[in-house]
């Protein structure tokens, strides 16, 4: 590679990040918007909360089951083939859901069809692609991508709620489908790329190994991805090999327990806030504002994870998140905008900070040609946990008629998930450290 190309002003990896950011900004809020559609669908059809939330649980289960296969397809065929097809399937799922009249229709269109599309354009492919393009700034890049979720929620949640309130939930589903088909699919097809080699950048300093034994190399002080466990790092990880390690299962259980706690309460969020006396528009606006804070949390969490390590960063994020959930639990008894703002700050920031550390940890441990299928399998197990949490939230409310039990289980699950990152200890395999040359360290 010539020096000019390697030192180009704009590394194409940042274009990849931008496209993934836009994709997540549209697709993920569309996925989380189930909580906005939940109350009007309950009101129109009179189904139980548990059975209606079952559509979301099916979606999560299908998403989980398909995740390893999507990772395998991304590894084999790249994003420009797999992801646009997924976007069109997702759009079809939303439009099909807009025509439903029976519960099984919802299960088929949203629970099954949309799930296939979600999986092909959401966390698994974007994490895989971005991890291919970055080593030194991996968590930072992933934090920016995940920030799209929060910013998208800030913009799309009030807009979706406006469509639901003004034109009905059916029209809102059609509008979402049209947006994904006409914007997401073409952007990926035109601009997204799988690996640096696709642009002749396989030797760029961002992805060159830079992975020394734990000792500084000569030159200007800089952050390098250093190898601590050379045997582990040198392994050509496949899904079969990874699944035989305790680290794989620690990260998979981390995602499962964390997701279960998250979806247990998030599906009920709009219903909870409206029960506390807030209008659906106000509820959607605060959830959107929470999304903005989570975007900031994603960015801060990514930078923090690259500097203090995945374990410490995730532990801090979970502590902040739990505080936010506890504040949210007080809103029904003490309804006030002050508590809502406090919930938004802690819940949004803590939620946002967590994901860059989780995703970067998985790439640190299992990066390589088969990483997509490995992360997909982790996401599969995590999705099962999320699906169970989504169903459990509705079930617990149907049984108790109140929310305290839901909040207690949520806080317990999310706090407990902390132990898994310390069990996996990605910093014992690869760690980012600021290297200092012998010359610069000399007095």
> How many alpha carbons fall within 13 Å on the CB side of residue 220?
1
Average of per-residue pLDDT values in the chain: 86
Please tell me the predicted confidence (pLDDT) of residue 200. 86
Q: Give mean pLDDT, residues 59-72.
A: 86
50 in Cβ contact with 398 (< 8 Å)? yes
Q: How far is CA 63 from CA 83, 296, 409, 413, in A?
A: 14, 27, 24, 21
Please tell me the predicted confidence (pLDDT) of residue 437. 45
Confidence of residue 311 (pLDDT cuts 50, 70, 90): very high
Is 60 exceeded by the pLDDT of residue 5? no
Tokens 């947006």 identify what position? 179
CA nearest 55: which of 72, 31, 81, 79? 31
pLDDT tens-place string over residues 176-187: 999 999 999 999
In this structure, what token pair is assigned to residue 47?
């189904």
- In 137-164, which positions are buried (b, 16+ CB within 10 angstroms) versus exposed (e)? bbbbbbbbbbbbbbbbbbbbbbbbbebb
pLDDT tens-place string over residues 85-143: 999 999 999 999 999 999 999 999 999 999 999 999 988 899 889 988 988 788 889 88
Please tell me the predicted confidence (pLDDT) of residue 433. 65
Please tell me the predicted confidence (pLDDT) of residue 34. 87
pLDDT tens-place string over residues 313-350: 999 999 999 999 999 999 988 888 899 899 989 998 99
Task: Report CA Rg, the chain.
Answer: 22
In this structure, what token pair is assigned to residue 246?
């305790």
- Whole-number Å distance between alpha carbons of 328 and 386: 20
| Domain spanning 3-441, CATH class | mainly alpha
Is 50 exceeded by the pLDDT of residue 218? no
- Whole-number Å distance between alpha carbons of 59 and 166: 27
- Whole-number Å distance between alpha carbons of 392 and 60: 13
- In 249-272, which positions are buried (b, 16+ CB within 10 angstroms) versus exposed (e)? bbbbbbbbbbbbbbbbbbbbbbbb
- Whole-number Å distance between alpha carbons of 333 and 423: 38
Please tell me the predicted confidence (pLDDT) of residue 164. 93
CA nearest 40: which of 273, 264, 285, 271? 271
Please tell me the predicted confidence (pLDDT) of residue 1. 44
- Whole-number Å distance between alpha carbons of 259 and 252: 11
pLDDT tens-place string over residues 70-90: 988 998 899 999 999 999 999
Please tell me the predicted confidence (pLDDT) of residue 49. 82
> Which residues face 224 on adjacent strands?
433
Please tell me the predicted confidence (pLDDT) of residue 259. 92
- Whole-number Å distance between alpha carbons of 114 and 31: 9
pLDDT tens-place string over residues 228-283: 888 998 899 999 999 999 999 999 999 999 999 998 988 888 888 888 888 877 88
User: Apex CA 346: angle with CA 342 and CA 348, to 5°?
Assistant: 110
pLDDT tens-place string over residues 152-175: 877 888 899 899 999 999 999 999
> 45-59, 202-216, 246-260, 387-401: which has the minimum mean pLDDT?
202-216
Confidence of residue 223 (pLDDT cuts 50, 70, 90): low
Mapping DSSP onto H, E and C, the string for the chain reads CCHHHHCCCCCCHHHHHHHHHHHHHHHHHHHHCHHHHHHHHHHHHCCCHHHHHHHHHHHHHHHHHHHHHHHHHHHHHCHHHHHHHHHHHHHHHHHHHCCCCCHHHHHHHHHHHHHHHHHHHCHHHHHHHHHHHCCCCHHHHHHHHHHHHHHHHHHHHHHHHHHHHHHCHHHHHHHHHHHHHHHHHHHHHHHCCCCHHHHCCCCCCCCCCCCCCCCCCCCCCEEEEEECCHHHHHCCCCHHHHCCCHHHHHHHHHHHHHHHHHHHHHCCHHHHHHHCCCCHHHHHHHHHHHHHHHHHHHHHHHHHHHHHCHHHHHHHHHHHHHHHHHHHHHCCCCCCHHHHHHHHHHHHHHHHHHHHHHHHHHHHHHCCCCHHHHHHHHHHHHHHHHHHHHHHHHHHHHHHCCCHHHHHHHHHHHHHCHHHHHHHCHHHCEEEEEECCHHHHCC
Please tell me the predicted confidence (pLDDT) of residue 440. 43
Please tell me the predicted confidence (pLDDT) of residue 402. 86
- Domain positions in the chain are 3-441
- Whole-number Å distance between alpha carbons of 56 and 149: 18
- Whole-number Å distance between alpha carbons of 227 and 432: 9
213 in Cβ contact with 230 (< 8 Å)? yes
User: pTM score, two decimals?
Assistant: 0.73
pLDDT tens-place string over residues 386-434: 888 888 888 888 888 889 999 999 999 999 999 999 999 998 987 766 5
Please tell me the predicted confidence (pLDDT) of residue 209. 55
């Amino acid at each position: 590679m010539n020096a000019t190309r390697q030192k180009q002003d704009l590394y194409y990896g940042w274009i990849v990040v931008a496209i993934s950011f836009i994709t997540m900004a549209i697709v993920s809020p569309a996925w989380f918007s189930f909580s906005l559609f939940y109350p009007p669908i309950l009101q129109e059809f009179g189904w139980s909360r548990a059975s209606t939330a079952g559509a979301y649980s099916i979606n999560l289960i299908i998403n989980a089951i398909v995740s390893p296969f999507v990772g395998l397809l991304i590894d084999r065929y790249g994003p420009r083939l797999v992801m646009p097809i997924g976007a069109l399937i997702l759009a079809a799922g939303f439009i099909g859901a807009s025509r439903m009249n029976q519960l099984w229709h919802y299960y088929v269109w949203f629970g099954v069809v949309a799930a296939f599309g979600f999986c092909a354009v959401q966390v698994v492919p974007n994490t895989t692609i971005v991890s291919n393009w970055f080593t030194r700034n991996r968590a930072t890049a992933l934090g920016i991508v995940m920030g799209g979720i929060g910013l998208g929620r800030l913009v799309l949640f009030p807009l979706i709620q406006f469509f639901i309130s003004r034109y009905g939930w059916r029209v809102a589903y059609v509008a979402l489908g049209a947006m994904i088909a006409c914007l997401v699919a073409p952007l990926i097809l035109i601009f997204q790329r799988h690996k640096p080699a696709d642009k002749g950048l396989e030797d760029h300093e961002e992805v060159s190994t830079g992975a020394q034994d734990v000792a500084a190399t000569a030159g200007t002080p800089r952050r390098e991805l250093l190898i601590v466990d050379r045997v582990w790092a040198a392994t050509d990880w496949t899904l079969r090999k990874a699944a035989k390690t305790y680290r794989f299962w620690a990260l998979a259980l981390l995602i499962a327990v964390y997701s279960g706690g998250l979806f247990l309460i998030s599906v009920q969020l709009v219903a909870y806030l409206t029960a506390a006396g807030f209008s659906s528009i106000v509820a959607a606006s605060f959830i959107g504002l929470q999304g903005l804070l989570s975007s900031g949390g994603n960015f801060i969490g990514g930078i923090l994870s690259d500097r203090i390590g995945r374990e410490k960063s995730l532990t801090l994020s979970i502590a902040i998140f739990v505080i936010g959930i506890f504040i949210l639990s007080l809103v029904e008894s003490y309804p006030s905008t002050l508590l809502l703002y406090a919930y938004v700050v802690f819940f949004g920031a803590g939620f946002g900070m967590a994901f860059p550390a989780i995703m970067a940890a998985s790439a640190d441990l299992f990066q390589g040609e088969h990483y997509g299928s490995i992360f997909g399998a982790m996401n599969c197990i995590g999705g099962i946990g999320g699906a169970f949490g989504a169903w459990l939230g509705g079930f617990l409310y149907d049984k108790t008629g109140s929310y305290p039990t839901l909040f207690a289980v949520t806080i317990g699950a999310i706090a407990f998930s902390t132990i898994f990152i310390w069990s996996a200890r990605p910093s014992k395999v690869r760690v980012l450290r600021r290297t200092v040359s012998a010359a610069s360290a000399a007095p």
